[in-house]
Amino acid sequence: MQSLALYIHWPFCLAKCPYCDFNSHVRARIPHARMIAALRRELAFEAARLGPRRLTSIFFGGGTPSLMEPGDVAILIADARALFSAEPDIEITLEANPTSIEAGRFRGYRDAGVNRVSIGVQSLRQAALTFLGREHDAGQAIAAIELGRRIFPRISFDLIYARPAQSLADWRDELRQALSLAADHLSLYQLTIEPGTQFATRHARGEFALPDDELGAALYDATGEEAARFGLLPYEISNYAAAGAESRHNLAYWRYHDYAGIGAGAHGRISLVDGLFATRRHRAPEVWADLVEREGSGSVEETGVSPADQAREALLMGLRLRDGIDLAAFAARTGLGIDQAIDQESLAACVEAGYLTRDGVSLSATAEGRKRLDSVLAVLVR
């Protein structure tokens, strides 16, 4: 039976963060009942066309999924378990914001079946939290982490670094504090200016500057060093975990396995009878719900992905992983050999420069290669 990772998008936030380009909306009153009903209907719709699947993970992302009622989360998990064959060790993650967390809600999510929580801490420094537009303070963040550790078997949190004027020493300091709070997984992202965000406008106006590529590289190297001292290793470009503690859901993306995405703005890659399809739901929550209510699904795009594009996507995602791409799995998934998908001259140049390694089993980017992966991909991928 083919595996499936399930992504459920909750598109609401209390406020829009200035760096965030995810599909999130601020509403005076969130229409919980309507949204949950639509999610349930869309889940059933998706299950009907996917057929029997081994469900390996569920991920509640957003937006701010910790704004969902724990009872609603329980309903959706129960639906998923009923529609698919959940693996015994299924990973069920919910993203949470330190502001919307209190002990009661956390217990509620745990009781609903969530066994992993990912907290959007972003920083442990007040000035940075203010700059990033976060509504919580460092104290709330620490409290949320500690609470999460008591309640959930697995927990991760996010930090954003390479912020304007952030020094190497400051970051090491902040990161060490974070590592002392962490369990066995952390997501450590360098700040990226995404088009269309408030930061994009402010950055273009010159209100702040980001570290140059050299400082960015130094910060990245320092991050790896500090995390390693706490036993967390970079299994993906921005994700650090102890062995076995990797996010199984995110691994499904990076390994280019099937994942279904439901909810406003969610993306999916699903194998149907006539091939692999890219799916995309309408971004506006109310329009999405209308569509679901009318047609069973809020999908606005269902595009077949050609073998060549599958190969390209598998490369884009797979080389982010430390372990790289399993060549046999790549061929089985895309129907193409890796050599049909990459430029051989660029491969040779990247191997010579120490950016890529390739043997009979796998193709992977070295630590140096992962730091420059966008440029590597630009020359490598056909």
Partner 1 sequence: MSNTPTSHIRNFSIIAHIDHGKSTLADRLIQLTGGLTAREMTEQVLDNMDIEKERGITIKAQTVRLTYKALDGETYILNLMDTPGHVDFAYEVSRSLAACEGSLLVVDASQGVEAQTLANVYQAIDAHHEIVPVLNKIDLPAADVPRVKQQIEDVIGLDASDAVEISAKTGLNIPAVLEALVTRLPAPSGDPDAPLKALLIDSWYDQYLGVIALVRVKDGRLKRGQRIRMMATGASHPVEQVGVFTPKMVAMDDLGPGEMGYITAAIKTVADCKVGDTITDDRNPATDMLPGFKPSVPVVWCGLFPIDADDFEKLRDSLGKLRLNDASFHYEAETSAALGFGYRCGFLGLLHLEIIQERLTREFDLDLIATAPSVVYRIHRTNGATEELHNPADMPDGSVIDHIDEPWIKASIMVPDDHLGAVLTLCNERRGQQVDLTYVGTRAMAVYRLPLNEVVFDFYDRLKSISRGYASFDYAMDGYEEGDLVRISILVNMEPVDALSFIAHRSVAETRGRSICGKLKDLIPKQLFKIAIQAAIGGRVIARETISALSKDVTAKCYGGDISRKRKLLDKQKEGKKRMRQFGKVEIPQTAFLAALKMDA
Give the footprint of partner 1 on this chain (CB under 8 A): 7, 22, 61, 189-192, 213-214, 216-218, 220, 237-238, 250, 253, 259, 261, 266-269, 278, 280, 309, 312-313, 316-317, 320, 349-350, 353, 355, 370-379, 381
Shortest distance in whole angstroms from residue 213 CB to partner 1: 5
Structure tokens at 340: 């049909």
Pick 200 or 349: Cβ nearer partner 1: 349
Order of strands, sheet of 356-358, starting from the edge strand that comes earlier in the sequence: 325-326, 362-365, 356-358
Q: What is the DSSP secondary-structure string of 134-200?
A: -SS-HHHHHHHHHHHHHH-SEEEEEEEES-TT--HHHHHHHHHHHHHH--SEEEEEE----TTSHHH
- Smallest gap from Cβ 139 to partner 1, in A, equals 26
Of the pair 89, 214, the CB lying nearest partner 1 is at 214
Q: What SS3 state is found at 39?
A: helix
Q: How far is the CB of 141 from partner 1 (least distance, A)?
A: 19
**Which DSSP letter does residue 100 get?**
G
152 or 259: whose CB is closer to partner 1? Answer: 259
Nearer to partner 1, 110 or 370 (CB): 370
**Bridge partners (DSSP) listed for residue 122:** 159
Q: Alpha-carbon distance 92 to 124, whole Å?
A: 26
Give the nearest distance from C-beta 371 to partner 1 in angstroms.
5
Cβ of residue 231: shortest distance to partner 1, in angstroms?
22
Nearest residue (CB) to partner 1, 135 versus 309: 309
Rounded to 5°, angle at Cα 8 from 33 and 130: 90
Please list, in sequence order, all residues whose beta carbon lies within 8 angstroms of the beta carbon of residue 316, skipping any fewer than 6 positions away.
Answer: 377, 381
